[in-house]
Chains A and B, each alone.
Chain A
Amino acid sequence: MATQQPVKLAALEGLHHSGPGAPMSIGPIELPGVLSFMLHGRTSAVVTGLDVVAPNEAPPVFFTHYAFDTMVGIGLGLLALAAWSWWRWRPRRRATFFDSTWFLRAIAGSGPAAVVALIAGWIVTEVGRQPWIVHLHLRTADAVSDQHGLYWYFYATVAVYAILATSLVAVLRRLARTPR
């Protein structure tokens, strides 16, 4: 991505200024030089920032950056959970593998978390590519249909999926109550 889509990389790392010693931002924390080192093996390496393009040519940084942090954070969390499982599975402790409320909570939460990470990754790649729909070939604004009433299509889609999601939850809750 650093060579093919440097602006997307800058957006997902929240890197505003090009230059050497590019920091890695995790939430409010900035680790100076880490991004340069991760990409090129040297903290002095120059990394392209968002300032190489006009503001209206850059993707929305807020969504891209925090979606990326969410994805990476959940990924690391799942790795930690796997390590925790290995630790609890060690010989002589196996019998009590499930005897921890917080461990069970973490296991239960890991399923939805994996889906959230998936969606966050999707947001990174789709929002991070803006304003292009095909990188450097076709702008999203030029690609959108000029069909009338496109917003009705949108409202109808939202309404249908709201109904389906509600029904799905109702059916799943019922199945959870009466396992067959």
Chain B
Amino acid sequence: MSAADGILVIIGAGVIAYLVLGGADFGGGVWDLFARGPRRDFQRQLIASTMGPVWEANHVWLVFVLIGLFSGFPAAFGQLSRMLAVPLAVALLGIVLRGSAFIFRQYGAAASTEAPVRGTAAWGRIFAIASTVTPVTLGLCAGAVATGQLTGPFPPVAGALAIAFCAYLAAVFLCQEARSRGLPALAEDFRRRGLAAAAVAGALAALAVPVLAIDAPDLTSRLIDRAAVLVLCSAAGGLGSIVALLRRRFVPARIAAVLAVGSVVAGWGVASYPIMVPPSLTVDQAAAPAQTLPVTLGVLIAGFAVTVPSLILLFRIFSRPALR
């Protein structure tokens, strides 16, 4: 395996981590937007208190992906940033507004003695809307990277699939969060949402394959041929999480949901290789000069070696209600 392949693996791991962990954060905003029923405010509080401690930490994965692409594959970075200038600008705006709005809402909220600050509710809406728009645009971008063009039917389907994944992951993750805080009614709320989102995400994933076949027939045939195992993993994970949710086994449901979503990205990567940007830009053509690649790889590995344990520690600390 060459240094370029090593950087690709890091980029792929970064995309999966961003989709699974960052996606769950975005999904929390989606459920904030769609908070319904008698426990509406409690749903929002659970989302905010779950997300608060890890607030923007998961964007670190996006940084890894961008730096890996920028330093390792400048030709691909250049092509993609031209092709995707507008949706990436929208996604960036969404990320900035989401992070700021979350904090402004938190600190503007009502203290015990006084009314909430003017504009706090508006920041809440901005947080929820930005959380929804950003994954759609990032999914659109991913679809465009897969097919090599922003037009065509697949990118919008990929955008819809991305937001469905986010909502699905968030709902499944929040079930266990609610249970570990002794809030069974909220766990039921998110269990129902998780089941609904799983059905929608599964249907969209099933729809995405024939649509992809229209836009990128070669990629589709390689996906079915070379990445069949990963496609089956994804289906098994999705079905497994539905079964686990039905039986109220929330921790296995989490693992299955991560498997379902992560396998899609892994399958896409395996099927695309060695094409980086369709129709014809390959990994070798896009790679930076050979002398810089091992350095970039070393830096990325060192970065992962620091970031991964730090984030694991962060998640462990805040997943224990007793310590709060």
Contacts and interface: CB of A to CB of B under 8 A. Distances in A.
Interface of A: 145, 147, 153, 156, 160, 164, 167-168, 170-171, 174-175, 178, 180
Given A153-B89, A167-B104, A174-B108, A160 B97 contact: yes
Contacts of B89: 153, 156
Interface in B99-118: 100, 103-104, 107-108, 111, 113-114, 117
Main secondary structure of the interface of B (DSSP, over half): helix
A145 B117 CA distance: 42
Given A145-B82, A147-B85, A153-B89, A167 B100 contact: yes
Nearest to B105: A171
A171 B105 CA distance: 9
A174 B108 CA distance: 8
Interface residues of B, number: 17
Interface string B304-319: 0000000000000000
A112 B85 CA distance: 35
Nearest to B78: A145
Given A145-B82, A167-B104, A174 B117 contact: yes
Given A160-B93, A160-B96, 15 more contacts: A145-B85, A153-B89, A156-B93, A160-B97, A164-B96, A167-B100, A167-B104, A167-B123, A168-B104, A171-B104, A171-B107, A171-B117, A175-B107, A178-B111, A178-B114
Nearest to A153: B89
Contacts of B289: none
A57 B113 CA distance: 62
B141 to A, nearest CB: 16
Contacts of B114: 178
A39 B96 CA distance: 44
Contact of B100 (A145, A164, A174, A175): A164
Contacts of B82: 145, 147
11 contacts: A145-B85, A147-B82, A156-B93, A164-B96, A168-B100, A168-B104, A171-B103, A171-B108, A171-B117, A178-B111, A178-B114
A153 B100 CA distance: 19
Contacts of B96: 160, 164
